[in-house]
Amino acid sequence: MAITTRSARLVLVAILAAIPVCGTRLQAEDVKLREQAVHLMEVANAVSLPGGLRNYEHVVTFRVHESDGTVKEGTFTRVSAGAAGHRDEITFGEYHAVIVFSGDRLSQTQTTIVPPEVRELRKRLPIQLGRFDKEDVIRSIHDANVLGRAAKCINFDTHFGATLQANQLCVDSERGALLRWQVGDEVIENADFFPIANLWEPAHIRRFVGGALQFEIDQSMTAIEGAMDPNVFLPPSQHRDKTYQCRTSRRPVGVFTPMPPAGDAGTDTIDVIVHGRIRGSDGKVDQVQIQSSPRSDLNAEALTLVSTWKFLALVCNDAPATVDGDFVVHFQGR
């Protein structure tokens, strides 16, 4: 099962810590310049990553902009007690879910399969962060004004085969928070930061792809003083339970994951990302959906192909378990 990344090798995180990707440095760069860039990104993670927050409420309104001009709106709320648990409620169109984590149990109820827009939202909350991979080559760092704030912008290159991609990340010169993310054709803007505990989080987030606005997020986070209401973590009605904390585990291992046949249009590769679940019962993939795709004409083939894949299933607490995942299908020369 492949780890999904964006178009550059800068590994993404949202709430969780960054995941390193192995690679080799492609071009020489100034060591001191790289040290400065890495330090700026480490600070950006430190001032916005909410892992140390305990009791708080997170309220989100989000809007998805479709290519035909329509706008769909949804909501997300979280009441969190840190490691003790949290309660999420999400509404988007016909989808409604209540998810309660308490101890090592997950209780949830939902009306339909999770839409890709909701999975995309959760990757962005409360802010999308990252760190540089070894294949990212830092080119320069300069002062700029970004979204009305004094900023330091890091310019870096990433190679994909014969393709060179120029990217840029900008951080707030005073607060250290990440203001703008431009990686390939994706741009993310974080604005109107607010303080919570010792962190800075953006009240407004916008995501553009190819210059077109795709996602908007408005959010607030408020610390909860005093003891938490224990009723917050009661299971929702008509819920299903499962253990989510694996004290011992083995990740899924692919045993049959064929790629589509190559075409005759050169060596360039198009990646279609399919979301699905690996069943604990037999390791097969089902409930497949397109997560992202630059070519809609390849979607049906990608869905059919991933449905044939098979894995040695996730082992959680010494027993096979079902797990969701993103699967990258590479179409070469198509």
pLDDT, tens digit, 9 for 90 and up, residues 92-113: 999 999 989 887 777 888 888 8
Same domain flag for 239 and 254: no
CATH code, domain carrying 262 = 3.30.2420
Structure tokens at 245: 């904390």
The better pLDDT of the pair 163, 197 is held by 197
Same domain flag for 143 and 235: yes
CA pair distance 56, 196, nearest whole angstrom? 9
Q: Is the pTM of this model over 0.75?
A: no
How many whole angstroms from its chain centre is CA 62?
15
Of the listed ranges 12-26, 73-87, 230-244, the one predicted with least confidence: 12-26
Mean pLDDT of the chain: 84
Contacts of 139 (CB under 8 A, 6+ apart): 29, 155, 156, 157
Among 226, 245, 264, the domain-final residue is 245
Give residue 160's pLDDT: 63
Question: What is the span of the domain harbouring residue 148?
Answer: 1-245
Return the percentage of the chain with pLDDT > 90, whole number. 46
For residue 187, name the pLDDT band (cuts at 50, 70, 90): very high
Best CA proximity match to 223, nearest among 79, 51, 34? 79
Of the listed ranges 33-47, 111-125, 182-196, the one predicted with least confidence: 111-125
CATH code, domain carrying 143 = 2.50.20
Mean local confidence (pLDDT), 213-219: 96
Of the listed ranges 19-23, 79-83, 250-254, the one predicted with least confidence: 19-23
Give residue 23's pLDDT: 36
Give residue 269's pLDDT: 82
Give residue 132's pLDDT: 87
Structure tokens at 242: 């499962």
Same domain flag for 120 and 30: yes
Give residue 226's pLDDT: 82
Tally the domains of the chain.
2
Same domain flag for 237 and 253: no
Same domain flag for 96 and 218: yes
Same domain flag for 203 and 232: yes
For residue 133, name the pLDDT band (cuts at 50, 70, 90): confident
Give residue 162's pLDDT: 60
Same domain flag for 143 and 53: yes
